Amino acid sequence: MKKSVIVLLALAAFAGTAFAADVIELPASMGKVSFPHKMHQEALKDCSKCHAKGPGKIAELNKEWAHKTCKGCHAEMKKGPTSCKDCHKK
């Protein structure tokens, strides 16, 4: 009985780390932004929409870049959040 509980907990912890990269948490004083990376990769296909210099960390990632890139595309495509509280969660 005890053993199966431990196995379940271990599985849950493993699943947590295995899927962690699908959503990237972007910290901000306004409230963190949970960015569904995998969903964007699948919906947009084109990595260069965000990764101008190739996949990996985005050096220019800051408020200005994010609002122009993230909010800009959502407004243009009429898809995805454009209001503060829909991106910034407490």
Burial of residue 18 (number of CB atoms within 10 Å: 0-12, 13-18, 19+): exposed
List the interface residues with ligand HEC, window 15-34 (CB under 6 A): 21, 24, 26-30, 33
**Contact status, residue 65 vs residue 7, Cβ threshold 8 Å:** no
Binds ligand HEC (CB under 6 A): choice among 14, 68, 77, 89 = 77
Given the complex with ligand HEC, which of 53 and 55 has the nearer CB atom?
Answer: 55
Judged by CB under 6 A, does residue 63 bind ligand HEC?
yes
Write down the residue that tokens 């890139």 correspond to: 69
Cα 19 to the center of its chain, rounded Å = 12
CA distance 90 to 81: 16
Q: Which residues bind ligand HEC (CB under 6 A)?
A: 21, 24, 26-30, 33, 35-37, 40-41, 43-44, 47, 49-51, 55-58, 61-63, 66-67, 69-71, 73-74, 77, 79-84, 87-88
